[in-house]
Amino acid sequence: PDIRSGYGSGIFLTVNNWQSSNNEIDLRGASYTTCTADQGDKGLFIVMNELRQLCRLGNPAGQYVRSDGYTDNNSDKSLLMGYLGFPTTFESALTDTDLLDKISTLEPHWTNLDHAWYISSQSDGKNNIACGISIYPCQTITYTLTLNPSLYSENEYNPQTETATFILIQDDSIETNIIINSNTNLGNKVKIQSYGYHPISSYTKRSILTQSKSNSIFSINDMGHLELLGLKFDNLDPTSAAPLISISSNDNNLIPFLTIIDCEFNQDSTYPATLLQHSIISINGGQLLIQRTSMQSYKLSNGMSLIMIKSDQTSIYGVFRNNQIEIIGSTFENIEQSGSGNGAVINAEMKSGSSLKVNDSSSFTNCQSTSGSGGAIYAQLSGSKINIDGTTFDRCSATQPGNGGALSIYQQTATSIIKINNVAFTNCKTLSGSFSTFGWGGGIFIQTSVTASQLTQSNFYLTNIAFSGCQSVIAGHNIHIRSPNTKATGQTIADNVLLTVNGIDDLYISLSYVNDYIGIDESKVNNGNTQFSDHDPLFINTILFSTYSQYNVDSYSGIDNLFCGQNSNPCKRIKQILNMNGNQISGYRKGTDTITINLSNHDSQDEDIQINSNTPIGNLVKIQSDGYPNNGYTKYSILTSLFAQTLFSIADTSRLELYGIQFDNLISTSTKPLISMSSNINTEIPSLSIIDCEFNQDSTSYPTSSLLHSLISINGGKLTLQTTQISDYKFTNGKSFLMIQSNQTGSSRNFKPNQIEIIGSTFENIEQSGPGNGAVINAELKAGSLLKINDSSSFTNCVSALNGGVIYSVISEGSVELNKLTMIGCQSLSGGSVYALISNKGKLSIDESAEFGQCIAKRGNGGSLYVDIDYTTQSSFEIKDAVIHDCKAIADSANLLPPSGFGGGIFLVTQGNYNPNLNVLDLSGMRFNHNTASNGGQTLQTVMVQLDSWCKKGNEGQYAKGNYSDIESNLNELEGIAFIKSTFNTLYLQQIKSQQKYLQFFWAKLGVLNSAQVVVNTSNTNQPLQFTLEGTNMIEGLLTVKFVELAQMNWNKYNSVFAQINSLGYSPNQDKILRRQSNDLIWPPDETSDPIAIQGNPESQQIATFGMKDYQWFDYQNKKYNILISNDRRFYTGVRGKENQTVSLEVDDVEQVVIPPEVPPKSNIPGWAIFLIVFAILLVIGAVIFFVFCFIYFKKKNERMKQ
């Protein structure tokens, strides 16, 4: 409905120019019964500017407008209503709000306000000109502050002398952007409190809720004063950057005040999941008092703290805003700050006389800055003051790179004042973070730019302080002071007694507190990247520490301090001991004596330990499990799977010995080695000994994840790995368990030498995937480097996706010695156990019953060993004593090139010119059995141009055959081909087989046959066939003869027992008509038969004779026979000793023997068909000749035309 009409159900009265001294209005005799108006009044409606004065006339007040029988607080208030304003305004109000704002019942006008406005935002509160009394409350504080003070008598409210008090009857969630300053209508002094508030008596705290708002709820400027009493607050919208409450002034003569008493602040229900991007209180010029107030459960980010204090420059250059903050008896709990900020509760930048006081049993509990300084309070002082008295800090912390677990204070000038009295710090700490810098001062960190001579009780006074359980991740468990000169600062503090600690009388002279009170010179800060030795005790600077025969580390119960290490006072970390100053240890010779460190528990605290000539305590270190080497000792672990940095880095002339310790690995994604050793100068050789230790990949990553790093990396140095067990590792990223490099140190031929010895150690289940070689060892051995593995070391189930299941080695001027070891069940692409590239006088030696078994080359060559050796510079490979068994070389079925499936035991390829006069290739100690290869060399495949020279060196293949038997072993155990490697890699399998040789062929005693004759004399019934052979190199007792038939023969005629078919294994009953090369006969048929008689020496012309009794097989009238001879029943030679170069058998028939020919079976094919077949064949041949002739003719014609 139209609200411009419909008023005055009984009486509608408009009044102009009314004067209280001449009141002519008296409506007290009226009575209103069942009157109604559209706009809500039930009797009287008055429009007049002086309505409030009219209502207050008479006794009782409202006498002249009260209806008959009207009583306060009981009668229907809508009987009497009115508009406070000019009639003309009533009639011409621009908006409905303007109109309704001034319409109210009349009773509030005559009711005394009693100096307070009541606020009810949820039920009966109403924002209009008459609101504020308890029975007619206003709806919002925001509106009420806009009321004109002239509405009220001096007895009700005087803005010049009184504070406007607002009483919250209910929780208020609709306030926003309340500004209190000299321009506030109702006045610049405001008090807001809960209904019934009393500092002692019980009442209900009302809330001002703002979690959906983006703007500050209170902004107090210039002369604004605000008191908040007994209220509850939360926060703004978490994404808002504005503070919940803001205090500021640009003029130090205009000071705003904020007082917060008996209030509670708690983050809204989004805690703890959501971080706030704004502070709760921000002050930049003004005064703040917080008393008996609790603030708890806030999580802040965006560089914000709970209370932000700044001292920006005022409008006058060089003059800074003054802040006066006092916190009395208040509590702060569970306040966490993340991001770049400092001080989870208070971050104060104070200048020019500003002051921060915290006192009277205030407490800070579990306040954390996760990357800044000051877990609870951070203060930067320039001509300002911090005073903390009677306060407790419990479980506060700052995470690196932050300093000061509870307090972090920066004293910039001598006029800046630090006073701390009667304050307790309990379990406050600095914690290790993602940055390893800073982290100083578990309880208090103070940075002072003030010289020691300027420190006095007036500007630096810390008294009656208590510390309990405080710790620093780096230095200064209780207090750490960064100053121009630590020694001078500490001396001044001691001389002037500027620090006292409860219960301690010998603070300045006792060694018991040297790690609790620490300092550092400004010149050593180095952006927080410091060694522990860079920090000094505040009060003891010249003492020589006692040396211990053994230092002790217990990561659970130990505490890192300058005097830790004894059984009764173990250190927490190995690193702590190494950072002690060796020059300050009495009786200890740094660089000569070895420091022994006992692990009394598992260690999960250590990382990035540097052992070199700069290590403060010295560079000769032994670390062992407590009780080692006594029986029954416990192997303790150094656990590093959560770290990315190398555990030990050993350099120059340093020595590290590790005994009886368990290791795992770094975090799987780290690319740095667990242990690194290197040297840049060949005269400075570091050494690492690992004895009786164990290595196992951590259970969280194995076997699901592969490591991107090696366990040990050496690039110049000496490594001994003895009686150590390594098992269950998976590597990738080209990494192996042990990586060995020999980088250049300067000149082109100056490489870093390495000496590695593995003694009696076991490796099991080591797997390498990806592009790497050698699952266990990947070695580059130069400049006299040596890799020696011996004394029953074993390698089981070691697998590489590429080459060298166990070892991949590049040996150039270095050596590898494999003695008395076993490699079982290992696999790779080539070289199932070992892959070696040897050059520049490099050496590979295998001895002392070394065993290689069940190893496999998958899709490559060399089931156990792959050796590529260059003889240009007299490199060598020797097997003195080794057994290779049950190994396999499996061909790559998917790729024909390069050739694969060769060398079930060993694949040997040589380059350069082999010199048989040098003993550089010796496999005489090789023993083998049950090895297989897909394509050749069941045990050994050799690719070598000088194959003949090598095989003939020594006695009967002495350096190539090992335990090979010339009689019993399979010929294909040892095979070779006389090509260079590059040519071999281009050959297809059939090409290789056509050129392949059994190695025995090269050392076999090959007979040379010049002529062969047989005399046939059937009258000689004992031996009708008499054979005579002429030649050389025929060995009596070994010589056998092979008869090669050059025509078809019928085997049914003579199933003779003497006839022995050659190595193809046919017997006479298998096939009536055999292929020609299968029709060969051997005499004598076996070794038990009478040997062939030989006259003459093998080196000269010889005559061999023998006879046969059975002559039925010898169909010399119809067939021709050739002869080959052999001394080993394997290789049959003839002309010039060449294999399969037969000599024709000449026949001398003394008495002709007639053997009836066999009648061939009659053909079933008719003659005319045979004629047609022959004709067709001749026709095809003629056509082929014709086309060839035409092709040649036209080709030559084209060539002449081109010319």
pLDDT digit string, tens, across residues 20-75: 888 889 998 899 999 999 888 899 999 999 999 999 999 998 999 999 989 988 99
Residue 1069 has a pLDDT of 33
Phi, psi torsion values for 911, nearest 5 degrees:
-130, 160
What is the C-alpha to C-alpha distance for residues 1191 and 129, in angstroms, rounded to an integer? 122
- The pLDDT of 800-804, averaged and rounded, is 96
Residue 567 has a pLDDT of 85
Model pTM? 0.58
Does residue 747 carry a pLDDT above 80? no
Residue 1196 has a pLDDT of 64
What is the C-alpha to C-alpha distance for residues 172 and 362, in angstroms, rounded to an integer? 29
Chain Cα centroid distance, residue 834: 30
Residue 648 has a pLDDT of 97
On the CB side of 996, how many CA atoms lie within 13 Å of its CA? 23
Token pair 């036209």: residue: 1194
Nearest partner of 246 among 275, 205, 288, judged by Cα: 288
Structure tokens at 179: 């500004």
Would strands 535-537 and 517-521 be described as parallel, antiparallel, or unpaired? Answer: antiparallel
State pLDDT tens for residues 803-833. Answer: 999 999 999 999 999 999 999 999 999 999 9
* Cβ neighbourhood burial of 97 (10 Å; 0-12, 13-18, 19+): exposed
Cis before 1160? omega within 30: no
Residue 1157 has a pLDDT of 46
Nearest partner of 787 among 815, 751, 821, 813, judged by Cα: 815
Residue 517 has a pLDDT of 94
Does residue 904 carry a pLDDT above 60? yes
State pLDDT tens for residues 668-716. Answer: 999 999 999 999 877 889 999 999 999 999 999 999 999 999 999 999 9
* Cβ neighbourhood burial of 549 (10 Å; 0-12, 13-18, 19+): exposed
Structure tokens at 829: 């692409």
Give, rounded to a whole angstrom, the gap between the first and last alpha carbons of the chain.
116
Q: How far is CA 682 from CA 542, 718, 846, in A?
A: 38, 11, 28
Query: Which residues are paired to 663 by β-bridges?
Result: 638, 695
Structure tokens at 557: 């119960």
Does residue 1052 carry a pLDDT above 50? no
Greater confidence, 821 or 1051?
821
Concatenating the DSSP letter of every residue in 857-884 gives: EETSS-SSEEEEEEGGGT-EEEESSEEE
Task: State what percent of residues in the chain have pLDDT above 70.
Answer: 93
State pLDDT tens for residues 507-548. Answer: 988 878 888 999 999 999 999 998 877 888 998 764 555 666
Strand, helix or coil for residue 191: strand
Does residue 1068 carry a pLDDT above 50? no
Residue 309 has a pLDDT of 97
Q: Which residues of 241-257 are buried (b: 16+ CB within 10 A; e: fewer)?
A: ebbbbbbbbeebeebbb
State pLDDT tens for residues 444-454. Answer: 999 999 999 99
Chain Cα centroid distance, residue 890: 37
Residue 1201 has a pLDDT of 54
Does residue 463 carry a pLDDT above 90? yes
User: pLDDT category, 1062, cuts 50, 70, 90?
Assistant: very low
Concatenating the DSSP letter of every residue in 538-569 gives: SS--SPPBPP-SSEEE-TTT----TT--BTTB
Structure tokens at 1091: 């040997």
Query: Which residues are paired to 1122 by β-bridges?
Result: 1044, 1144
Cβ–Cβ under 8 Å, residues 90 and 83: yes
Residue 1060 has a pLDDT of 38
Cis before 137? omega within 30: no
Range in 74-83, 641-650, 1043-1052 the model is least confident about: 1043-1052
State pLDDT tens for residues 286-300. Answer: 999 999 999 999 999
What is the C-alpha to C-alpha distance for residues 424 and 420, in angstroms, rounded to an integer? 10
Residue 1193 has a pLDDT of 64
What is the C-alpha to C-alpha distance for residues 718 and 652, in angstroms, rounded to an integer? 11
Residue 956 CB neighbours (<10 A)? 14
Does residue 885 carry a pLDDT above 90? yes
Does residue 423 carry a pLDDT above 80? yes
Q: How far is CA 142 from CA 128, 282, 865, 1139, in A?
A: 12, 21, 90, 117
Residue 170 has a pLDDT of 94
Structure tokens at 237: 């919208």
User: pLDDT category, 1037, cuts 50, 70, 90?
Assistant: confident
Range in 923-927, 1010-1014, 1138-1142 the model is least confident about: 1138-1142
Helix and strand numbers (H, E) in the chain are: 13, 85
Residue 178 has a pLDDT of 96
Q: Could you tell me the sign of the dihedral formed by the alpha carbons of 453, 457, 459, 462, in that order?
A: positive
Cβ–Cβ under 8 Å, residues 558 and 564: yes
Q: If you average pLDDT over every residue of the chain, what do you get? A: 90
Chain Cα centroid distance, residue 624: 27
State pLDDT tens for residues 948-998. Answer: 999 999 888 999 999 999 888 999 999 999 999 999 999 999 999 999 999
Boundaries of every domain in the chain: 1-111, 816-1003, 1008-1151
Q: To which H or E segment does residue 690 belong?
A: strand 687-691
- The pLDDT of 325-354, averaged and rounded, is 95
Residue 748 has a pLDDT of 62
Residue 212 CB neighbours (<10 A)? 11
State pLDDT tens for residues 490-506. Answer: 999 999 999 999 999 98
Cβ–Cβ under 8 Å, residues 816 and 784: no
Would strands 80-84 and 103-105 be described as parallel, antiparallel, or unpaired? Answer: antiparallel
Length of the chain: 1203
Structure tokens at 667: 């975090």
Residue 1189 has a pLDDT of 65
Residue 1198 has a pLDDT of 62
Concatenating the DSSP letter of every residue in 377-428 gives: EEEEEES-EEEEES-EEES-EEETT---SSEEEEE-STT-EEEEES-EEES-
User: pLDDT category, 101, cuts 50, 70, 90?
Assistant: confident
Q: How far is CA 513 from CA 501, 597, 932, in A?
A: 11, 23, 73
User: pLDDT category, 1077, cuts 50, 70, 90?
Assistant: very low
Cβ–Cβ under 8 Å, residues 592 and 574: no
Q: To which H or E segment does residue 927 belong?
A: strand 926-929
Q: Which residues of 106-142 are buried (b: 16+ CB within 10 A; e: fewer)?
A: bbbbbbebeebbbbbbeeebebbbbbbbbebbbbbbb
Residue 1054 has a pLDDT of 35
Residue 1058 has a pLDDT of 35
What is the C-alpha to C-alpha distance for residues 974 and 960, in angstroms, rounded to an integer? 8
* Cβ neighbourhood burial of 203 (10 Å; 0-12, 13-18, 19+): middle
Residue 1156 has a pLDDT of 45
User: pLDDT category, 918, cuts 50, 70, 90?
Assistant: confident
Phi, psi torsion values for 639, nearest 5 degrees:
-95, 125
What is the C-alpha to C-alpha distance for residues 595 and 657, in angstroms, rounded to an integer? 10
Residue 89 has a pLDDT of 87
Q: Could you tell me the sign of the dihedral formed by the alpha carbons of 370, 372, 374, 378, in that order?
A: negative
What is the C-alpha to C-alpha distance for residues 817 and 843, in angstroms, rounded to an integer? 8
Phi, psi torsion values for 638, nearest 5 degrees:
-105, 105
Token pair 């002869």: residue: 1123
Does residue 1167 carry a pLDDT above 70? no
What is the C-alpha to C-alpha distance for residues 1078 and 1073, in angstroms, rounded to an integer? 10
What is the C-alpha to C-alpha distance for residues 1020 and 31, in angstroms, rounded to an integer? 175
Q: Kindly report the three-state secondary structure assignment for every residue of 1106-1149.
A: EEECCCCCCCCCCCCEEEEEECCCCCCECHHHCECCCEEEEEEE
Residue 115 has a pLDDT of 86
